[in-house]
Amino acid sequence: MKMRVLSTEDVKKVVEMKPVIEAVEQVYMQKGRNEAVVWPTVFYEFEPGVSDMDIKSGYLKDAGLFGHKTVSLFTQNQEKGLPELLGCIMVFDAATGAPLGLLDGSYITGVRTGAAGAIGAKYLARKDSKTLFILGAGHQATFQVAAMLTEFPQLETIYVADPIDHENAVSFVNSLPQRLKDGFGIDVSGISVRAAEDLAETVSESDIIITVTPSKEPRIKKEWVSPGTHFSCIGADMAGKEEIDPALFAGAVVFVDDKFHCIEAGELEIPLKKDMIKEEDIAGEIGSLILGDAKGRISDEQITIYDATGMALLDIAAAKAALELAEEKGIGQVVEI
């Protein structure tokens, strides 16, 4: 039996933003048609707060695939010259159970997470949106900007803030145009890209806000938010994480990627516990909105929120597309197992 192995550099050669956005939309639709299954997450702490791992997995019936992404966090790895966070994706053929590929997970995670944030905006934000605000200036933030510019090339202004380190936001913004050009072939010379100086002012000016920090306290207050704003909440992917005022959920149009995981561990977790929103107020999963089975924004005044904790199904679909292109281009190593 043969299987293709793709390193980080191989993955970068075969993963592009637009096809991943399409693959992620397909996964959401498969989930909306009950053709996708998310299996329970396995989480194990080797040494609490120091080293842990999680296995997220699932089955895409329609695509005939199953697989998993295993991510480990070993905080003392730097001393050993290794990254703290490591991850790999395995894809299997659901008709035979045979493994199809093993891929480094970091780059695919970034691209598919960017795609998730942008798809939330595509289906829920106002079509005339011109100003994007990214809360967070870390690894994921670049992918969020790249995906948004792929779906919303009409954006005129992009603000980036780092709630705990303003200087980091400034250097992020300074290097962003080159990184977008090198990594995604995106030219931002006609767009104003700025580090946010005043959070309240920036929030009130923004049409679309993507939150992508590991914050455990709300960083965006309801009174700063203008009517009609869309939020894609990406950073909160574990119980206890929270980025926006829970009061924003009251009266908002709220969609999720996976209801179970968002209630347990998404931005929704705390507003639900605080009774700011009830489970029955969740408008649905994004797949039902894409399929036209649920109603999204109906006025330019509504606040819309897309809560996405991420699903391994996205990694599996993006990894399969990468494996196909890698086969076509002869990239990676084929190993006998």
Ligand X SMILES: NC(=O)c1ccc[n+]([C@@H]2O[C@H](COP(=O)([O-])OP(=O)(O)OC[C@H]3O[C@@H](n4cnc5c(N)ncnc54)[C@H](O)[C@@H]3O)[C@@H](O)[C@H]2O)c1
Active site (catalytic) residues: 69
* Strand-pair partners of 320: none
Task: Enumerate the H helices of 185-337 as residue ranges.
Answer: 199-205, 259-265, 269-273, 286-290, 312-329
In the complex with ligand X, the residue whose CB is nearer, 18 or 139, is 139
Q: Between 17-32 and 139-151, two packed helices, what is the crossing angle to 10 degrees?
A: 80
> What does the alpha-carbon distance between residue 146 and residue 108 come to, in Å, rounded to a whole number?
13
**Which one, of 160, 161, 158, lies nearest residue 192 by Cα?**
158
Cβ distance 51 to 28 under 8 Å? Answer: no
Binds ligand X (CB under 6 A): choice among 235, 271, 284, 296: 235
Residue 103 tokens read as 């891929």
Query: Rule CB under 6 A: is residue 18 a binding residue for ligand X?
Result: no
Out of 11, 14, 102, 234, the residue judged to bind ligand X by CB under 6 A? 234
Binding mask 177-216 for ligand X (x = CB under 6 A): -----------------------------------xxxx-
Number of residues that bind ligand X (CB under 6 A): 26
**Which one of residues 136, 218, 246, 271 is an interface residue with ligand X (CB under 6 A)?**
136
Residue 330 C-beta-side C-alpha neighbours within 13 Å: 0
CA-CA distance, 75 to 79, in Å (whole number)?
9
Residues 308 to 337 in contact with ligand X, rule: CB under 6 A: 308-310
Return the residue of 30, 109, 232, 288 that touches ligand X, per CB under 6 A.
Answer: 109
Q: Which stretch binds ligand X (CB under 6 A): 65-73, 96-104, 163-171, 180-188?
A: 163-171
161 vs 289, which CB is nearer to ligand X?
A: 161
**Residue 80 corresponds to which amino acid?**
K
Candidates 19, 99, 138, 228; binder of ligand X (CB under 6 A) is 138
* β pairing state of 36-47 and 51-60: antiparallel
Residues lying near ligand X in the complex (CB under 6 A):
109, 113, 116, 136-141, 162-165, 168, 212-215, 219, 234-235, 237, 241, 308-310
